[in-house]
Amino acid sequence: GKNEYDLLIIGGGSGGLACAKEAAQFGRKVAILDYVEPSPQGTKWGLGGTCVNVGCIPKKLMHQAALLGSALKDAQHYGWNIAQPVDHTWSVMAKAVQNYVKSLNWGHRVQLQDKKVKYFNMKGSFSDPHTIRGLTKAGKKTIVTAENIVIATGGRPKYPMHIAGALEYGITSDDLFWLKESPGKTLTPFVFNVSLECAGFLTGIGLDTTVMMRSIPLRGFDQQMASLVTEHMESYGTKFLKRCFPTKVEKLESNRLQVTWKNTELGTEETDSFDTVMWAVGRAPDTETLNLEAVGVKTNSETGKIIVDASEATSVPHIYAVGDITEGRPELTPTAIAAGKLLAQRLFGQSSELMDYDNVPTTVFTPLEYGCVGLSEEAAVQCYGSDNIEVYHAYYKPLEFTVAERDATQCYMKMVCLRESEQRILGLHFIGPNAGEVIQGFALGIKCGATYPELMKTIGIHPTCAEEITKLHITKRSGLDATVTGC
């Protein structure tokens, strides 16, 4: 046709890259635009999107660094003689993490090349429904036309613009992972999983870290589990300022930051100084410079996200969207990847399979990890009524914690089931080490419609934490002590 490409993707992140590579498999002419607008602090990165550069990957690696700090302490109980003091050097860790991320950037570029996907390091915006104007860093313009266009530009962290000094002096997760020097004494106001995860590993590597929260932690997640997660962090050493919110950030002569906040419980105003203030107030979809109005792609007036239907189609024919940019979808890499792949298969591979967003498992990588799939207890109660659900639960102690003399108070799991005879599993929640590894297989079981009796017929693997899930038998309704005892 008259269009240069069969498929043009704007955004080289999890969703965009997956879609591009899949489409290329069908022998299509595919192009992808990726561009990183530097953060207000000047941080930028390469191809791969949020997950690779400023999300999942560096986050998990730094989380691992913190876990290894705990391992060092445990090791002494297991007979390893390590002379104190044990120190952590931020720059060694950061460099190693950044080098690995760069290798992934490189890997993606090589893959695109191998699959003959044309890559433009340009910022794209719409001229018309089939035409994209690409702009390089230097200001050079390129016009690209395509039969189908996929918007996958993701999101960027928001700044609380109403707080004086927030933009000038604060950083976000976009900057944290690329810091060359230690962030030092850090404050993370607000409590989305990102801030808890970051506060968690910063504490773990020995930094003085404070989390400030106005109301509840991990909104949208099961609140009982969220409390256990934050309780553990408190016992682990992270400081929490509850029912507080910041009002201003100022720079001191020493170059440190002075933060003022309101304590809504005591009705007082308090201040303290920090080396770093990291905002985690949510992410905004990256649509501003796309010029969506020019082509009529509809967005949600509240969130700014692009509205799509079950086939990832926007309000404009031949224009699609996947990933964090889309309204009503989980902001997760695996869903973006799956959606991108399936979209390519539907466009070019004669498939009609739609993305299933139900029962998507996820894990919060706090010092004590929290993995879950399905409904929270509150959502289940709301949906079915507390009389119609049964919650099986247990407090357990990982074997490895015993010799290490570690506190397992928050190691807990619960399964929310329908109460009627089949007892289908609605949700599974697990707090403990390796929560992601534990939950993944069970998510699969839930996809297969697993019921409580089927789970009970499954023999446990001994000794693991996951086996306790197959042994859940105390209900919340019974009021009995849910602590696992013995072998």
Partner 1 sequence: QEAAKYEKKVMVLDFVMPTPLGNSWGLGGTCVNVGCIPKKLMHQAALLGQALQDSRKFGWQFTEEVKHNWMTMAESIQNYVGSLNWGYRVTLREKNVTYENAYGEFVGPHTVKATNKRGVEKLYTAARFLIATGERPRYLGIPGDKEYCISSDDLFSLPYCPGKTLVVGASYVALECAGFLAGLGLDVTVMVRSILLRGFDQDIANKIGEYMEEHGIKFIKEFVPIKVEEGTPGRLKVTAKSTKGNQIIEGEYNTVLLAIGRDACTRKIGLDKVGVKINEKTGKIPVNDEEQTNVPYIYAVGDILQDKLELTPVAIQAGRLLVQRLYGGATSKCDYVNVPTTVFTPLEYGACGYSEETAVEKFGEENIEVYHSHFWPLEWTVPSRDNNKCYAKIICNIQDNERVIGFHVLGPNAGEITQGFAAAIKCGMTKEQLDSTIGIHPVCAE
Tokens of 189: 């106001």
- Decide if residue 440 touches partner 1 (CB under 8 A): yes
**Do 203 and 184 form a contact (C-beta atoms < 8 A)?**
no
Which of 5, 35, 45, 90 binds partner 1 (CB under 8 A)? It is 90
Q: What's the CA gap between 452 and 435, in Å, rounded?
A: 20
Which one of residues 464, 475, 476, 484 is an interface residue with partner 1 (CB under 8 A)? Answer: 464
Please pick, among 130, 162, 232, 462, the residue that the annotation labels catalytic.
Answer: 462
Coil, helix or strand for 310? Answer: coil
| Among the listed residues 165, 198, 442, 474, the single contact to partner 1 using CB under 8 A | 442
- Min CB(168)–partner 1 separation in Å: 29
* CB of residue 243 to partner 1, shortest distance in Å: 32
Interactions with partner 1, residue window 99-118 (CB under 8 A): 100
Strands (E), 109-230: 118-120, 123-128, 131-135, 141-151, 155-157, 186-189, 209-213
What sign does the dihedral 126-130-135-140 (CA atoms) show? Answer: negative
Using CB under 8 A, which of 3, 25, 41, 64 touches partner 1? 64
Strands 268-274 and 257-263: antiparallel
Decide: is 436 part of the binding site for partner 1 (CB under 8 A).
Answer: yes
Three-class secondary structure of residue 6 per DSSP: strand
Annotated binding site: 60, 124, 282, 324
Residues in the chain: 487
Strand pairing partners for 431? 370, 412
Start-end of H helices in 115-192: 166-169, 173-176
Per CB under 8 A, which of residues 328..387 are in contact with partner 1?
A: 332-335, 338, 356, 360-363, 371
Q: Per the annotation, where are the binding residues for FAD?
A: 60, 124, 324
State how far the Cα of 428 lies from the Cα of 204, in Å rounded to an integer. Answer: 27
Residue nearer to partner 1 on the CB measure, 285 or 432: 432
Residue 72 lies near partner 1 (rule: CB under 8 A): yes
Annotation says 462 is catalytic: yes
Q: Residue 184, exposed/middle/buried by CB under 10 A (0-12, 13-18, 19+)?
A: middle
x-or-dash pattern for partner 1, window 383-422, by CB under 8 A? ----------------xx-xx-------------------
Terminal alpha carbon distance of the chain: 68
Instruction: State which amino acid sits at residue 227.
Output: S
Binding segment (CB under 8 A) for partner 1, from list 157-165, 173-181, 314-322, 479-487: 479-487
Q: Is 27 in the site for partner 1 (CB under 8 A)?
A: no
Rounded CA-CA distance 250/476 in Å is 48
Task: Choose between 363 and 410: whose C-beta lies nearer to partner 1.
Answer: 363
Q: Which of 2, 42, 87, 162 binds partner 1 (CB under 8 A)?
A: 87
Binding of partner 1 by 454 (CB under 8 A): yes
Q: Please, what sign has the CA dihedral across residues 217, 221, 225, 229?
A: negative
Which residue, 260 or 359, is less far from partner 1 as judged by CB? 359
Q: Residue 56 or residue 146: which is nearer to partner 1 going by CB? A: 56
What's the rounded Cα separation, in Å, for the pair 263 and 266?
6
Containing H/E element for 373?
strand 370-374
Min dist. Cβ of residue 429 to partner 1 (A): 13
Nearer to partner 1, 68 or 216 (CB): 68
Report phi then psi at 251, rounded to 5.
Answer: -100, 135
Q: What part of residues 206-265 is at the interface with partner 1 (CB under 8 A)?
A: none
Cβ proximity to partner 1: between 6 and 197 the closer is 197
| Span interacting with partner 1, options 146-154, 159-167, 185-193, 440-448, rule CB under 8 A | 440-448
Residues 30-49 that bind partner 1 (CB under 8 A): none
Annotated binding site for NAD(+): 282
374-395 core/surface letters (b: 16 or more CB in 10 A; e: else): bbbbeebbeebeeeebbbbbbb
Smallest separation, CB 278 to partner 1 (Å): 19
List the interface residues with partner 1, window 303-332 (CB under 8 A). 332
Residue 29 binds partner 1 (CB under 8 A): no
Q: Binding segment for partner 1 among 140-148, 163-171, 218-226, 448-456 (CB under 8 A)?
A: 448-456
Residue placing its CB nearer to partner 1 in the complex, 2 or 457 = 457
**Cα 32 to Cα 7, 293, 322, 323, 342, distances in angstroms:** 8, 21, 14, 15, 17
CB of residue 60 vs partner 1: minimum separation in angstroms?
5
C-alpha span between 13 and 164 (Å, rounded): 32
C-alpha 282: how far from its chain's center? 11
From 54-62, 120-128, 220-228, 232-240, span contacting partner 1 (CB under 8 A):
54-62
Structure-token match 């404050």, residue found: 187
Select from 270, 449, 478, 481 the one that contacts partner 1 (CB under 8 A). Answer: 449
Residues marked as catalytic: 462
